[in-house]
Amino acid sequence: MDDLVYQAMRKWPNVPDCYGWLGLDARGEYWMRDMQVQQAGSFKAGCQSPLSGGKGSRVDHVALKGFMGRNYQPDERGCWYFQNGPQKVFVELELAPLSCRLSLSDTTEVLLHTGAIDRLNRIWVDEMGVVYAEASKGLAVVHSWDVAIVANWLEAGFWSENACNQADLPSQFGYVLSPMGVEK
């Protein structure tokens, strides 16, 4: 975490956690979810159908996204959050806690949506054809633009495909899609 975050945590140790106001989609984009968007439906439903009220407002500010990425992590329950100064802002997940892009030159590395480079351990494909990278830091959805790269890797024999069920991934990889209401 950033040093400024540690300083804020020491200065204000009892700031309440924030739930429901931030989402992460399968492409690694953060979405702000105001009260009206939250009342229109769940984040996952908003990702799948614009009729449900939508995802919210995409976070486009480059410096803010960098700050969020540097301070993004899971708690002991498997709920992912970013430490915003003294406050934990828990993140609603569309599919997985991470999203990644792949390298055309290195079949063993992924670039996480947080900006970190991580080691690729295994490729998973669910029943809907969504491709995931099991990385050292956790499960990442492979960005849709990079699925063709995975197909080439599989065809070339660099990796083998592992089948999975989307509904089983949170328990299999120890993360929570919607932290709201999960007991501490």
Judge whether 104 and 95 are in contact, CB under 8 Å.
no
Token match 């301070």: residue? 71
CA–CA separation, 108 and 73 (whole Å): 22
Domain ranges of the chain: 3-93, 98-173
pLDDT at 120: 95
Give, as one character, the DSSP assignment of residue 146. Answer: G
pLDDT at 15: 77
The tens digit of pLDDT for each residue in 22-51 reads 999 999 999 999 999 998 888 888 787 766
High-pLDDT (> 70) share of the chain, % = 94
Q: Summarize the confidence of residues 151-162 as an average pLDDT.
A: 94
The region that residue 12 occupies, defined by phi over 0 for left and psi between -120 and 50 for alpha, beta otherwise, is beta
In whole angstroms, how large is the CA radius of gyration of the chain? 17
Q: What is the pTM of this model?
A: 0.90
The tens digit of pLDDT for each residue in 81-137 reads 999 888 899 999 999 999 999 988 899 999 999 999 999 999 999 999 999 999 999
Nearest in space to 154 (alpha carbons), one of 120, 179, 113, 182: 120
Looking only at the bridges linking them, the beta strands covering 117-126 and 80-84 are unpaired
